[in-house]
């Protein structure tokens, strides 16, 4: 069954609740927090950040951020790069992460995108199996931070 989620714009009204969505402390090495993501977005306008809070019913359960239609350059993967994806510690393993990818893929296909690129920190507990299960394939590249680069064919 597909988990029901909504991608919602971050506003003054929901911002604090969205920032309060956190992964397990042991997962902090795999993903930056929502608050850090806002900082990264502000620091990197060249990456054309696009982000949404993820709600299940009235509850914020996750966060997703992409680089949206950028021209790839050194240190800048794209054109569409899944920059951040996280599900709150108490909400993982219920299909929300998969449902977010489904929504994002539908949006990207509507834009005419042919691939989605992401990267993940390797090692014990890495989310790489989650991405591979969805259909992402390692490109063989490692980015400048030592992260494994993966690609999802949208055609």
Provide the mask over 91-120, with x wherever binding to ligand COA is found by CB under 6 A and - wherever it is not. Answer: -xxxxxxx---------------------x
Told to check if 60 binds ligand COA by CB under 6 A, we report no
Strand order, beta sheet including 137-142: 6-8, 49-56, 59-67, 81-87, 115-120, 148-153, 137-142
155 binds ligand COA (CB under 6 A): no
The reply on whether position 31 binds ligand COA by CB under 6 A is yes
Give the nearest residue (CB) to ligand COA.
97
Q: Would you put residue 57 in left (φ > 0), alpha (ψ -120 to 50) or beta?
A: left
Q: Which is nearer to ligand COA, 23 or 70 (CB)?
A: 23
User: Out of 5, 18, 19, 23, which residue is the one contacting ligand COA (CB under 6 A)?
Assistant: 23
Omega within 30 of 0 (cis) for the link into 26: no
> Does 86 participate in binding ligand COA (rule CB under 6 A)?
yes
């Amino acid at each position: 069954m597909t988990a029901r989620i909504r991608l919602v714009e971050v506003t003054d009204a929901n911002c604090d609740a969205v920032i309060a969505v956190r992964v397990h402390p042991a997962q902090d090495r795999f993903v930056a927090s929502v608050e850090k993501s806002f900082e990264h977005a502000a620091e990197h306008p060249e990456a054309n950040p696009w982000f949404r809070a993820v709600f299940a019913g009235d509850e914020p359960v996750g966060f997703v951020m992409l680089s949206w239609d950028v021209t790839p350059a050194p240190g800048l993967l794209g054109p569409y790069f899944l920059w951040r994806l996280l599900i709150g510690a108490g909400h993982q393993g219920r299909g929300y992460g998969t449902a977010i990818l489904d929504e994002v893929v539908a949006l990207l296909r509507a834009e005419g995108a042919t691939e989605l690129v992401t990267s993940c920190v390797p090692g014990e507990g890495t989310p790489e199996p989650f991405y591979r299960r969805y259909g992402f394939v390692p490109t063989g590249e490692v980015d400048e931070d030592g992260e494994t680069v993966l690609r999802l064919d949208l055609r």
